[in-house]
Amino acid sequence: MFDERQRADTIRRISWRLLPFLMLCYFAAYIDRSNISIAALAMSADLKMTAEMYGIAAGIFFITYTIFEIPSNLALVRFGARRWIARIMVSWGVVAVLLGFVNSHWQLYGVRLLLGAAEAGFTPGVIYYLSLWYPARERGRAMSFFYIGAALASVIGLPVSGLLMKLDGVGNIAGWRWLFMIEGLPAVLLGALVLVCLPDSPTTGTFLSPEEKTWLARTLAADHAQQGPDHSHDWRPALRSGRVWALAMVWLLQAFGTIGVTLFMPLLIKSMSGGDTLLVGLLSALPFLLACILMYANGRHSDHTGERALHLGLPLLLSGLLLAGSILVARTGASVAAYGLLIAAVGLNWAATPVFWAATAGQLSGAASAAGIGLINAMAQFAGMGLPPLIGRIKDATGSYDSGMLLIAAALTTGGLVGLKAAGRPRRPTPTPMSPIIEQRVRS
């Protein structure tokens, strides 16, 4: 019989084996998706793009990302997480490098469409993969570490991207082209390493003892029993679940912040500070440092208390209010105070992320879980499709990002209110025995 120390040791062993590498993979993914925000500081002039055209280039990525999201997740279940995640990373890395060779906004649109298709399924695929390893009570913390990889991509990646822009003119190549070409290569290398570093499931993981595998299988079986019948090979329950659609709405509204603010942060800060690309990159990174801290703290506290709704809804609600306050304070000329409120708004927006996925992963199991996670993540990409072009058009029409940011603030506030209801009450799993067949398979 496992005691609490053995349980903690098993989870710790899983975390050290999987999370650092997955964080590094997401770090590369988020850089390749969002480095266009730094590149735009010079690329827009070279390609003669308006703010709306930049918004289209930023948002068009999410069209193909959404189209291929659910099929990609179902393919992951069929072919195995290790092989499919490797395929995703290698293909998106190659396409990310191609961004450095575009010569018009139309070519930029086309390559961004390819990038969305290549990367589709990575984030929900990893979330599904983590649900195969972590019991429900541990998922909030695990998700927080995974998403810290995305926040670190901004903490480290934005200043690095600003520094790479300093290569402008080296080899008669523009700095933004160097940015794309250099930052796309790590994904290709990491994709190859996935085949070596990631086991497909706990039953194939050699770093766990038979006793640890037995305990983990029993605990996960108990979690699945709390979810109702296990539709292991049926993805349709995900599409019929009202809770899944409610969570999809929360994720859509939350994405207004993670997508809209992230893609326009450097341009927004440049309009406030007027600094060069390196300074803008550094100022753009600071909010995501707070995001790392708050994601870990919120995810850990949610796991400790077993409460999801407040840990999901309140950060989003406060994030929307603080973002609106930042815009209103900036109008008075108090740019330092406005920047401080912006830092807090971004941090709180991201703080809800690990709790959201911990709550979501507990709703369905098997193929329905993969399809449900894919559906929810795909829904959020509608914000990515429409929001950047809309913000760009507002900027062209008004000369300011204020109205666009207030729209994002309203979405976050609404998402917080919906999240208070959608996450539901916490489940307290009770142990259930495995069948003798499953237990024998695990021990062997």
Locate the domains of the chain by residue range: 10-222, 236-424
Fold of 236-424: Growth Hormone; Chain: A; (1.20.1250)
Average pLDDT over residues 27-50: 85
236-424 and 10-222 share a CATH fold: yes
Which of 307, 308, 341, 310 has its CA nearest to residue 327? 341
Q: Give the pLDDT of residue 438.
A: 37
Cβ–Cβ contacts within 10 Å for residue 106, how many? Answer: 11
Task: Return the DSSP state at 232.
Answer: T
pLDDT digits (tens, 9 = 90+) for 148-192: 777 777 778 778 888 888 898 899 999 999 999 998 999 999 999
Lowest mean pLDDT among 226-230, 315-319, 393-397: 226-230
Give the per-residue pLDDT at 87.
92
Q: What is the pLDDT of residue 210?
A: 87
Mean pLDDT of 401-421: 90
pLDDT at position 95 is: 94
**What does the pLDDT average to over 54-61?**
87
pLDDT at site 1: 60
Q: Which residue has the higher pLDDT, 26 or 370?
A: 26
Closest CA to 423 of 361, 378, 380, 371: 361
Q: Is the pTM of this model over 0.85?
A: no
Q: Which residues contact 153 (CB under 8 A, 6 or more apart)?
A: 26, 27, 28, 29, 30, 31, 34, 288
Query: What is the pLDDT, as a whole number, of residue 59?
Result: 83
Per-residue pLDDT at 178:
94
Question: How confident is the model at residue 214, as a pLDDT?
Answer: 87
Give CA 275 to chain center in angstroms.
28
User: Does 228 score more than 60 pLDDT?
Assistant: no
**pLDDT mean over 347-360:** 85
The reported pLDDT for the residue numbered 229 is 44
Strands (E), 252-318: none
Confidence of residue 217 (pLDDT cuts 50, 70, 90): confident
Tell me the HSE value of 204 on the side-chain side, using a 13 A CA sphere.
10
- At residue 209, the pLDDT reads 86
Helix ranges (DSSP H) in 331-401:
335-351, 353-361, 366-398
Say how many residues make up the chain: 444
Write the Ramachandran bin of 435: left for phi over 0, alpha for psi from -120 to 50, otherwise beta: beta
Report the pLDDT value the prediction gives residue 345, as an integer from 0 to 100: 93
Question: What average pLDDT does the segment 235-260 reach?
Answer: 76
Over residues 103-119, mean pLDDT: 93
Question: What is the Cα 322 distance to its own chain's centre?
Answer: 22
How far apart, in whole angstroms, are the C-alpha atoms of residue 112 and residue 65?
10
Q: Mean pLDDT, the chain, as a whole number?
A: 81
Burial of 53 (0-12, 13-18, 19+ CB in 10 A): buried
Beta carbons within 8 Å of 139's beta carbon, 6+ residues apart: 130, 131, 303, 357, 358, 361, 362
Q: Tell whether domain 10-222 is in CATH 3.30.565.10.
A: no
Query: Does the pLDDT at position 97 exceed 90?
Result: yes
pLDDT digits over 6-22, tens only? 888 898 899 898 888 98
Residue among 139, 127, 111 nearest 76 (CA): 127
CA dist 66 → 175, 187, 332, 344, 415 (Å): 30, 20, 40, 29, 20
pLDDT greater than 60 at residue 121: yes
Distance CA 392, CA 387 (A): 9
- Exposed, middle or buried by CB within 10 Å (0-12, 13-18, 19+), for 168? middle
Q: What is the spatial distance between Cα 429 and Cα 365, in angstroms, rounded to a whole number?
A: 15
More confident residue, 365 or 100: 100
Give percent of the chain with pLDDT exceeding 90.
22
Tokens of 333: 């000329």
Nearest to 406 by CA among 310, 295, 330, 352: 330
Looking at per-residue pLDDT, the higher value among 51 and 124 belongs to: 51
Per-residue pLDDT at 118 exceeds 60: yes
Phi and psi for 207 in degrees, rounded to 5? -90, -5
Q: Tell me the percentage of the chain whose pLDDT exceeds 70.
A: 86
* Residue 429: per-residue pLDDT: 40
Handedness of CA 94, 113, 125, 18 (dihedral sign): positive
- pLDDT top residue among 138 and 102: 102
